[in-house]
């Protein structure tokens, strides 16, 4: 029973990440060069496909981290006023491109050296044009 519960929780997490990344099983199997039937078996909780389930989860977690980092860097280039506007919009509307957690993170770290350097690089590029 323990393995089934553990697989079920892992599958739920994978499904959540798939939704967040706007991917489906077919896209995932093509990206990872896997048989779609094997991916479906793994997603149905097959104990024999536990290794494949781990591989899928690790890939999706890496993809999610990369996308979140890109989003944070994109947001870090915006002004503080723009960030607050986007945060208010995200709180009021579910169709926002950005989630409020990411926006709050960027706002709270607005003066972080990494983000300041990203903004300075952007301003330097605009001055060259």
- For residue range 66-104, list pLDDT tens digits in order: 999 999 989 988 888 999 999 999 999 887 888 888 899
**Is the per-residue pLDDT at 126 higher than 80?**
no
pLDDT for 2 beyond 50:
no
Output the pLDDT for position 1.
Answer: 42
- Tell me the pTM: 0.73
Q: Is the dihedral of CA 11, 17, 26, 58 positive or negative?
A: negative
Q: For the residues 30-42, what does the mean pLDDT come to?
A: 88
Locate tokens 């029973």: which residue?
1
pLDDT of residue 94: 80
Return phi, psi of residue 111, to 5°. Answer: -95, 10
Q: pLDDT-based confidence at 5, cuts 50/70/90?
A: low
CA dist list (Å): 66 to 3, 31, 54: 30, 16, 18
Evaluate the CA torsion angle 103, 104, 105, 108 in order and state its sign. Answer: positive
Structure-model confidence comparison of residues 25 and 120, the more confident one: 25
């Amino acid at each position: 029973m323990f393995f089934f519960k553990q697989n079920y929780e892992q599958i739920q997490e994978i499904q959540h990440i798939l939704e967040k990344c706007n991917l489906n099983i077919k896209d995932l199997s093509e990206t990872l060069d896997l048989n779609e039937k094997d991916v479906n078996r793994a997603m149905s909780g097959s104990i024999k496909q536990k290794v494949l389930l781990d591989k899928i989860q690790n890939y999706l977690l890496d993809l999610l981290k990369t996308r979140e980092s890109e989003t944070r860097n994109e947001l870090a280039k915006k002004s503080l006023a723009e960030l607050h506007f986007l945060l208010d919009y995200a709180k009021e509307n579910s169709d926002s491109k950005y989630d409020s957690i990411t926006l709050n993170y960027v706002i709270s770290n607005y003066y972080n050296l990494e983000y300041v350097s990203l903004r300075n690089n952007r301003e330097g590029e605009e001055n060259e044009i």
